[in-house]
Amino acid sequence: MDNIYSQRIERLRSLMSSKGWDAVVVSGSDPHASEYPSDRWKQVQWLSGFTGEAGDLVITLDHAGLWTDSRYFIQARTQLEGTGVELHKTRVPGEVLIPLWLKQEFGDDAIIALDGLSVGASDALELPGTVISVPDLLSRFWEDRPAIPQTPIFTIETGETRQQKLAWLRDQIKSSGCDAALISSLDCVAWMLNVRASDIEYNPLVLSYLLVTQDRVLWYVIREEDIDEQTQACFDEISAEDIDILPYADIEYISSEIDGKILLETSVNYNIYSSLLAANVAFEMQRSPIALRKAIKNPREVEAMRRAHVTDGVAMVRFLYYLERSLDAGRELSEWDAALKLEDIRSESEEYTGDSFQTISAYGPGAALPHYITPKDDAPILRQSGLYLNDSGAQYTTGTTDITRTIPLGECTALEREDYTLVLKGHIDLAKAVFPVGTAGCQIDALARNPLWESMRNFGHGTGHGVGYFLGVHEGPQDIRQNFNSTPLRPGMITSIEPGIYREGRHGVRHENLYLCVDAGTNDFGAWLRFEPLTLCPFDCSILELDLLDRNEKRWLNDYHQKVYETLSPLLPEHIAQWLKEKTAAI
């Protein structure tokens, strides 16, 4: 029997037949290449039922396929059942990505339709045959499609003014040989204008574009005439700085505002790319210079991020105390209950504005899925045995947090104890690293993996990602992973360290902190860098196999726990502070 998703796909196929299209490509992103698109642009989910954060669809007259990576294979198999959509695996040996698959199916004569608003130009240009852009293609069938979100916009203090940032960007534009720049990635727009909102789930971003020339600034942001008081105050402040505020939809006419050559981000959508091409506007596509600049936090941002992690550390300790005491008292808690409790505790802070991503609250086998989605209904119950993994984060007006703790809830197997210890050993080995200036994350990734590799164990995701200042929880251009990325780590960058191990159907372990890259001094051999921990929360030492840790690793852990206790205990109720003292006792 057909389900709602297969029915939607058949309606799309009817349109394809009438138009003579061989295939339709549906992206899992939005016009700004956002990691977390708003409901309006969850087109892959609407068409197939797949809710993963990374996935693209290809629909032909006789085939429907979803392309996604190993983080979502198990989830995809479950959610695609009965839809007629076949899973195509990416990031595996022998992968066949969408452009090659289409070429194999249709050669170079294919007619491929896509929503050019939500497909990146660089992705569209890789497709074979003739590419046709049909903006808002699915709106023909998606009768109750959500509107473009419009949430209150506000300004923040960051230690740099808009005019300082614009002067810097204009220098960058000039040095690139261009006359203007279009900023389309939302985190870069927010950083440039010192603005925040809630248009994107988990990210304090404003759906908008920013066009900067040598003598004008145009911000395409207005969706409706009915503007709330907070947003109007923001608009008034920004307009006073000679920044023109225009309707969001007017980006369609951007070519008329450009005199000369324009710099485009590599993530620019295909619709904008095509319109500039049709208008004979000269342009150059390159990685935005803003990405690197905003990744290096200024002193004010660093201090604010430190405060945010103190606030988050207090919340995490209160949560861990509650979790342990509740289970000891025989109270029934599910994965979902635990996630809600942590959110409730965090929300008591006046600086809290929401979570920075969907909390992964996973017990036992669920923790073996790195991107597990905690079910709201019939969530697994936490028992006093085995491992519980909680990967969560918050957006505070002072900064963004991301932390994972794997918590033994009772008796654990020898394998669980060993995996737990080896992952923490890898975390510590990277966290205590000292490395030369100019070192890229890919050059030190192995430090976190080596304790696992020695036992022929591994994990499939990256070891670390950048984090923004009250912006995205996943931020480039730096990272720590095996994939080659030449961007060096620099003082002021904030990066996660989160090795793990996952045994399908059994358990998962991940230990994650955020770290600030700082100067470690200079000697005859050059300049050096190290990591300073920002995250403040104890690691549970009760199941550590201490003989697997060397003296330096134990010293690092004891020093870290002393810092956690000294910083957080004055901010906690006496009984929880006493509990924290026990949890941070030296090993």
pLDDT tens-digit series, residues 77-99: 889 999 999 999 998 899 999 99
Number of H helices, E strands in the chain: 16, 28
Please give the structure tokens belonging to residue 357: 């991503």
* Mean pLDDT within 300-326: 98
- With pLDDT > 70 as the criterion, what percentage of the chain qualifies? 100
Distances (CA, A) of 454 to 506, 507, 553: 22, 20, 17
Question: Are 249 and 147 a contacting pair, CB within 8 Å?
Answer: no
Higher pLDDT, 370 or 361: 361
For tokens 């949560």, the residue is: 319
Q: Is the pLDDT of residue 71 over 80?
A: no
pLDDT of residue 74: 79
Distances (CA, A) of 86 to 56, 83, 101, 140, 368: 12, 9, 13, 24, 23
Question: Are 414 and 440 a contacting pair, CB within 8 Å?
Answer: no
Peptide bond between residue 99 and the one before it cis (omega within 30 degrees of 0): no
Q: What angle do CA 360, 329, 570 make, to 5 degrees?
A: 70
**How far apart (Å, rounded) are the C-alpha atoms in residues 42 and 52?**
10
Q: Is the pLDDT of residue 276 over 70?
A: yes
Buried residues in 533-546 as b, exposed as e (16+ CB within 10 A) = bbbbbbbbbebbee
**How far apart (Å, rounded) are the C-alpha atoms in residues 55 and 67?**
5
pLDDT tens-digit series, residues 320-355: 999 999 999 999 999 999 999 999 999 999 999 999
Mean pLDDT of the chain: 96
Residue 38 φ/ψ, nearest 5 degrees: -70, 170
pLDDT of residue 558: 98
- With pLDDT > 90 as the criterion, what percentage of the chain qualifies? 93
> What is the DSSP code (8-state) at residue 456?
T
Residue 537 φ/ψ, nearest 5 degrees: -165, 135
Kindly write down the DSSP assignment for every residue of 155-167, as one continuous string: E---SS-HHHHHH
* Mean pLDDT within 520-526: 97
Kindly write down the DSSP assignment for every residue of 280-321, as one continuous string: T--EEEE--HHHHHHHS--HHHHHHHHHHHHHHHHHHHHHHH
Q: Taking the CA of residue 508 as centre, how many other CA atoms within 13 Å lie in the half-sphere pointing to its CB?
A: 26
* Mean pLDDT within 530-548: 98
- Per-residue pLDDT band at 405 (split at 50, 70, 90): very high
SS3 content of the chain, % helix, strand, coil (to 5): 40, 25, 40
pTM of the predicted structure, to 2 decimals: 0.93
pLDDT of residue 334: 98
The residue among 45, 57, 47 whose CA lies nearest residue 10 is: 47
**How far apart (Å, rounded) are the C-alpha atoms in residues 133 and 411?**
57
* Mean pLDDT within 24-48: 94
Rg of the chain in Å (alpha carbons):
25
pLDDT tens-digit series, residues 225-275: 889 999 999 999 999 999 999 999 999 999 999 999 999 999 999 999 999
Q: Is the pLDDT of residue 201 over 60?
A: yes
pLDDT of residue 103: 96
pLDDT tens-digit series, residues 463-520: 999 999 999 999 999 999 999 999 999 999 999 999 999 999 999 999 999 999 999 9
Which residues in 358-433 belong to E strands, given as ranges? 360-363, 387-392, 394-396, 399-400, 403-408
The residue among 230, 207, 196 whose CA lies nearest residue 147 is: 207
**How far apart (Å, rounded) are the C-alpha atoms in residues 212 and 527?**
37
Beta-carbon contacts of 157 under 8 Å, excluding residues fewer than 6 positions away, are 194, 300
Q: Is the pLDDT of residue 392 over 90?
A: yes
> What is the DSSP code (8-state) at residue 381?
B
pLDDT of residue 2: 64
- Per-residue pLDDT band at 212 (split at 50, 70, 90): very high
Count of C-beta atoms within a 10 Å radius of residue 94: 5
For tokens 């549906």, the residue is: 26
Q: Is the pLDDT of residue 111 over 90?
A: yes
Beta-carbon contacts of 52 under 8 Å, excluding residues fewer than 6 positions away, are 28, 68, 71, 72, 75, 76, 371
Q: What angle do CA 451, 410, 565 make, to 5 degrees?
A: 70
